[in-house]
Chains A and B, each alone.
Chain A
Amino acid sequence: MSDSPAPTQMTNLARNSRNENTNPAARGNRPGAFTPAASPDPTEAQALALAQAGDHHAFAQLYSLHKRRIYSLCLRMVGNIAEAEDLTQEAFLQLHRKIATFRGDSAFSTWLHRLAINVVLMQLRKKGLSLISLDEAMEPAPEEGPGRSFGAPDLTLAGAIDRLALERAVADLPAGYRLIFILHDVEGFEHNEIAAMLDCSIGNSKSQLHKARLKLREALRTNAQQEARS
């Protein structure tokens, strides 16, 4: 099956990640993002060139363009405001140190996201919080075969999900799964972009996203069962 089907052939699951998605929460606030093949925003391109040459004001402009997305990513990953601020600060400090090395092989926003993700993962590893590291999440896990998702039809989520319960379930995901779920389903990155950011194959990204969704389904069903009992 092709990786780029016509929009009319897509399921809701796949449509979330496509460029034609008009949902502002998923795609709207992403300056210069998701279009590695397209020309970058001229404002960003100019600021980038100047910042690479050491222009402080241009760097401030890049911060202004990307601060929301980087801060939001950090916040979604760690769930703590103070920590998210520290991580955002560290990501932009690293950007300042490394910006001259950006060669334009990918979109700047993808490159910056990758840098921020590395900062977040380093922090998670330092804290020992991730039950499954990104590396482990990228490895095939035979014990988590498709059989795990079998369940009686009467336990379906019935098309309605408690938002808070889902946020809790996402927060409880192992870091590797959480990262891919957030990048794809929340932020709207495509599998090829995630694969480039995380140095994994597109197939791996699809597979890990699927496992993340299965884990969320399991958590939400357990939550629904507990609520039904109480």
Chain B
Amino acid sequence: MTDRTGKMSCEEFQAQLPELIGSGGKISELEHIQNCDLCRALLADLETIAEAARQLFPVVEPPDNLWEQIESKIKGDGADDEKKKLESGLRTGMAARLE
């Protein structure tokens, strides 16, 4: 993985990059990144993408009538539950009478 001088290769460096980035390490001070244009460019691009992502897709408000729809479905759920309880009660009562 390392080159002839014993230094880290690009492949080796990039294999460690997810962990280095994810743990907030001081990557720019690493020897490989200081000496490798390719990996420095890669890191700069990834930083640019992460920075740009913060400006993407602003938090938006759902339409006002969405709560009404949810509320109506919740009531529907409640009515279904009541109906099921009633049906279950009727079945139990009928079964008891048949016995």
Contact A67:B49 (CB < 8 A) given known A151-B38, A156-B44, A186-B56: no
**Which residues on B sit within 8 Å (CB–CB) of A152?**
38
Judged by a CB distance under 8 angstroms, whether B15 is at the interface is: yes
CB contacts under 8 Å to B, within A7-39, are 9-16, 18, 23, 25-26, 29
Judged by a CB distance under 8 angstroms, whether B87 is at the interface is: no
Give the docked Cα–Cα distance between A85 and B18 (Å).
34
Judged by a CB distance under 8 angstroms, whether A98 is at the interface is: no
Give the docked Cα–Cα distance between A226 and B67 (Å).
44
Give the docked Cα–Cα distance between A146 and B54 (Å).
25
- A166–B70 CB distance below 8 A: no
CB 8 Å contact bits of B47-77 with A (1 = contact, 0 = none): 1111111111111111100110111011001
Give the docked Cα–Cα distance between A67 and B69 (Å).
13
CB contacts under 8 Å to B, within A48-72, are 56, 59-60, 63, 67-69, 71-72
Q: How large is the interface on A (under 10, 10 to 19, 20 to 34, 35 or more residues)?
A: 35 or more
**Which residues on B sit within 8 Å (CB–CB) of A185?**
49-50, 53-54
Q: List B residues at the A interface (Cβ < 8 Å).
A: 10-11, 14-15, 17-28, 37-38, 40-63, 66-67, 69-71, 73-74, 77
Judged by a CB distance under 8 angstroms, whether A104 is at the interface is: no
The 3 closest A-B pairs by CB, nearest first: A206-B22, A146-B14, A14-B24
- Which single member of B41, B66, B73 contacts A153 (CB below 8 Å)? B41
Give the docked Cα–Cα distance between A2 and B25 (Å).
8
Residue among A1, A2, A59, A151 with the most chain B CB within 10 A?
A1
Give the docked Cα–Cα distance between A149 and B45 (Å).
11
- A2–B38 CB distance below 8 A: no
**Which residues on A sit within 8 Å (CB–CB) of B37?**
153
